[in-house]
Amino acid sequence: MNDLRIGIIGCGMIGREHLKRLRHRIRGCSVTALCDSSLECLNKAAEIAEGEAEKYEDASKLINDKNVDAILVATPGFAHGDSVLASIEAGKPVFCEKPLATTAKVCREIVKAETAFGRRLVQVGFMRRYDRGYRQIKSLLESGDFGEPLIVKCTHRAISVDDSYTTEMAVTDTAIHEIDCLRWLLNDDWQEVCCIMGKDTKYAHKELSDPQVMIMKTKKGITAVLEVFVNCKFGYDINCEIVCEDGVINLPSPAFPTIRKDCKISTDIEQNWMLRFIDSYDVELQEWVECVKRGELSGPTAWDGYLAEVTADALVAAQTSGKCERVETDKMPKLYEA
Ligand code: ISE
């Protein structure tokens, strides 16, 4: 079968990571076009592509290039909507980094456009669904051996963030992963969310509330408690514990050797999200390429992207109201029924 010819829109840090990945680690594809409005980013990416990709500053030209079969969108979140909508209009499959869009309104437009097209074209980059540990938890839950899940306890910690990171981003950029991943693991939708902002670490910049504790309840009544702490100083630390009727399941940590030295036992913790989830990104894009070639997408849908955005909006509202907010969503279109 021929290579899937991919065009990348957005050649910043994550776009260039995906470019390297698609060129060197993912089978069955090639990158034939690149687009960025910044010439500096475009040229850096073109260098990685070793002259093998057409360069564009205008995304619509890349989307309509006849040597592009599928599109990968890695621009900043606020610009996702335009590229995704234009890809649907061109009838081309599109992989969009998370979030699908930064407003529920644009997510809704994408869902509407895809539904009108009549076939799935959009996949959202919620890479945790491809992490080995989360997948193991999912099959354990599905085995039925643990009974019903009751409570979930998660931590999402990062070493530090810069001054551009806002209190809202603790939801829209960080907790968004648990919002999607837990929904998928628990096979249940969010109903109500709230957020507690208490004492701040001295390492957070003046405008930022850090840490925050988010509490979310699903329609079936499962409660999730999530600590987001993005200046924790010691490492990128992702934990997830699912308390079930007949046992407790914990997300395995990445495998590092346990060292005994100087009267201490120690194990490394990953430094950042790109390293922690490096394998998940590889599996995610490999499966996407294969699914697109078979003509049947199976990853996170535009509907998943929409639900995550609506839940994030409710959590952001809860940050300021100090109250529990309800997650009110539209009715799911038939296209997204399993
Ligand atoms: C970043 O954009 C990610 O996607 C990471 O997974 C997350 O841990 C981090 O907080 C975000 O800034």
Please identify, by atom number, the ligand 1 atom nearest to the C-alpha of residue 174. Answer: 10
CA of 143 to the centre of ligand 1 (A): 30
Give me the pLDDT at residue 115, please. Answer: 98
CA of 61 to the centre of ligand 1 (A): 30
- Pairing, β 29-35 against β 94-97: unpaired
Burial-class residue 27 by CB neighbours within 10 Å (0-12, 13-18, 19+): exposed
Per DSSP (E only), the strands in the chain are 4-9, 29-35, 54-56, 70-73, 94-97, 122-125, 149-157, 190-197, 212-218, 223-229, 237-244, 247-250, 258-261, 264-267, 325-326
CA of 170 to the centre of ligand 1 (A): 9
Please identify, by atom number, the ligand 1 atom nearest to the C-alpha of residue 165. Answer: 12
Nearest CA to ligand 1 atom 7: 174
Please state, in angstroms and rounded to a whole number, the distance separating the CA atoms of residues 269 and 256: 8
Please identify, by atom number, the ligand 1 atom nearest to the C-alpha of residue 238. Answer: 8
Q: Which of 124, 168, 173, 274 to mutate to test the pocket of ligand 1 (most atoms within 8 A of CB)?
A: 173
Give 3-state DSSP helix, strand, coil % of the chain, rounded to 5: 40, 25, 35
Which residues, judged by CB distance below 6 Å to any ligand atom, belong to the binding site of ligand 1? Answer: 158, 173-174, 177, 273
Please state, in angstroms and rounded to a whole number, the distance separating the CA atoms of residues 80 and 188: 26
Name the phi and psi angles at 334, rounded to 5. -55, -35
Give me the pLDDT at residue 338, please. Answer: 75
Please identify, by atom number, the ligand 1 atom nearest to the C-alpha of residue 277. Answer: 6
CA of 245 to the centre of ligand 1 (A): 31
Nearest CA to ligand 1 atom 5: 273
Give me the pLDDT at residue 281, please. Answer: 98
Name the phi and psi angles at 247, rounded to 5. 150, 175
Q: At a CB cut-off of 8 Å and minimum separation 6, what does 325 contact?
A: 192, 193, 194, 314, 315, 317, 318
- Over its length of 338 residues, how does the chain's per-residue pLDDT go in tens digits? 799 999 999 999 999 999 999 999 999 999 999 999 999 999 999 999 999 999 999 999 999 999 999 999 999 999 999 999 999 999 999 999 999 999 999 999 999 999 999 999 999 999 999 999 999 999 999 999 999 999 999 999 999 999 999 999 999 999 999 999 999 999 999 999 999 999 999 999 999 999 999 999 999 999 999 999 999 999 999 999 999 999 999 999 988 999 999 999 999 999 999 999 999 999 999 999 999 999 999 999 999 999 999 999 999 999 999 999 999 999 999 999 97
